[in-house]
A and B are shown apart, each in its own frame.
Chain A
């Protein structure tokens, strides 16, 4: 599939923002974080900025961005529509959480409740985003339970890394955060490896069965394409990357997104030097940011669409 940058940025940035909100709500409830106004203001604002920037970016690839509001209407059947609806619903508890956490002296409300509500809505929104892709039977490697799991875990991973960096900056760090990072990176790493393993197995129809011209015993090869140059379907659905690049990029994803943050979390746990702790948390954040973008780019670029079978691909 063609990797559109606006969609890669949207899923990465919004995913991180929603992951951040989820953990902030959870930690507020668990009392891991004090009601510290400057910290809350910085982090909840950052979450809202990431979410909003991502959502705005997602409208950039539309042919008619001014009609984007129409996308809220078909929640009965469309995951894209559900995603839009929940993205907007999330703003309500998130805004109250921001006010209650950022201005505790002026707003007297139960901030833990609104944090938890914002977190719950965030998880539902990430799930809806992932289901847009996971519900497509036309792309066998996406049509899997691993897709929502990966989206959720990577959003949560980016979120916890942002929280850790800011707690160190504001001197609010608690050791539990490092353990959460280690657990999430391990889970996300395992699930992503499982996704890649499943994606590498040839599956679904072949050019022979898709055209119905053979039961599989005879080959079916494209002799003449319908057009001399690439048409929309070939450009959008027929994006291909060389196998060797795919392997290299998977290694980069694994090292930046899972290995580096897990190592940094361990360093933070055992180091006594403030500078090393701060640099480690920043390094983990930057590495995961790069890793998320690479992972998302690969997610699209490696995905093979059934329609390519009509355009010369022999199997998926």
Chain B
């Protein structure tokens, strides 16, 4: 049924992505592909995977295939003030997903018990309308299977009792080497992810469209040169200099400067 479940107290599972920490390594996207190649929506088909065999898919240039998770890299602002931001993008498991309501067959649905948005590959007719209705580009069509595929929030991992409890998180979260991805119940204001969102002013993507995404993004922290004097943390070099017993302190020592920089973060 493509009508949405009624609002309830059940959990809304989702991701919190920290744009301040993400280093743009694409490990989340790769491990997503790896896990889901054997998961709920398997296979994650590729076409022209090794390039150079363009006859296989007609007008193609280069390799392409189904991925649930993609990492974009943006340059914010210009010139010396510019900043590079890596931006992982996947299904946001919206509270009011238009991709579900436009589905003519009922293959797209939102689970009442945890808010995860899924596609039933046995009833999907491959009309692609859900991909048109999604503003986030979360849905990708598998032209080999003839059905739409999307992030399952690793539904076959997060509830998998054969795994250690610590591993029952989506593949993108468990693999992130920088700890930029967090998984949890965003409907519970006391959950770790909700606290993180409120502490760091996490935000919704395209809130004006009204789909109420569950996933939240944590904005990059302001640049150092934007900080006011009060916000600036006292450097250990300053502390050393202010302390009479360290008069001979080597303030030009690059190692000390580096330690200073790291500890000042």
Where the two chains meet, the residues of A that have a C-beta atom closer than 8 Å to any C-beta of B are 1, 61-65, 67-68, 70-74, 76-81, 84, 132, 135-139, 205, 207, 209-214, 218-233, 236-237, 305-307, 310-311
Contact = CB atoms under 8 A, between A and B. Distances in A.
Interface stretch (B98-106, B172-180, B231-239, B242-250): B98-106
Contacts of A222: 72-75
A213 B104 contact: no
15 contacts: A62-B127, A63-B124, A68-B125, A78-B103, A138-B209, A213-B19, A213-B76, A214-B76, A218-B81, A221-B74, A228-B62, A232-B64, A236-B131, A237-B137, A310-B72
B70 interface: yes
Contacts of A226: 26, 29, 67, 70-72, 89
Given A226-B72, A306-B206, A63 B143 contact: yes
A228 B132 CA distance: 22
Contacts of B206: 205, 209-210, 306
B228 to A, nearest CB: 19
Contacts of A220: 74-76
Given A67-B105, A78-B101, A229-B62, A223 B74 contact: yes
B130 to A, nearest CB: 10
B134 A307 contact: yes
Interface in B129-145: 129, 131-137, 140-143, 145
A306 B135 contact: yes
The 9 A-B residue pairs whose C-beta atoms are closest, nearest first, are: A63-B126, A63-B146, A229-B62, A226-B70, A224-B73, A71-B104, A81-B104, A70-B105, A307-B137
A194 to B, nearest CB: 24
B35 interface: no
Nearest to A228: B62
B38 to A, nearest CB: 21
A230 B62 contact: yes
B25 interface: no
B84 interface: yes
Contact of A63 (B102, B147, B208): B147
B257 interface: no
Contacts of B85: 211, 213
B217 interface: yes
Interface string B188-202: 000000000000000
Contacts of A80: 102, 104, 127, 129
Given A220-B74, A221-B74, A74 B123 contact: no
Given A305-B132, A307-B134, A232 B140 contact: yes
B11 interface: no
B210 interface: yes
B61 A223 contact: no
Interface string B80-118: 010011010100000000101111111100000000000
Contacts of A211: 74, 85, 87, 205
B155 to A, nearest CB: 22
B141 A236 contact: yes
B1 A63 contact: no
B61 A64 contact: no
A219 B73 contact: no
B217 to A, nearest CB: 6
Contacts of A77: 2-4, 100-103
B205 A210 contact: yes
B256 interface: no
Nearest to A82: B104
A310 B129 contact: no
B143 A137 contact: no
B72 A225 contact: yes
B63 interface: yes
A233 B140 contact: yes
A77 B63 CA distance: 36
Contact of B132 (A1, A225, A231): A1
A231 B70 CA distance: 10
B169 interface: no
B128 interface: yes
Given A63-B145, A71-B127, A232-B141, A307 B136 contact: yes
Contact of B102 (A135, A224, A225, A232): A135
Interface centre among A64, A139, A220, A232 (most CB of B within 10 A): A232
A233 B131 CA distance: 8
B112 to A, nearest CB: 15
A310 B128 CA distance: 19
B77 interface: yes
B106 to A, nearest CB: 5
Contacts of A224: 24, 72-73
A61 B147 CA distance: 12
A205 B4 CA distance: 26
Contacts of B125: 62-65, 67-68, 70-71
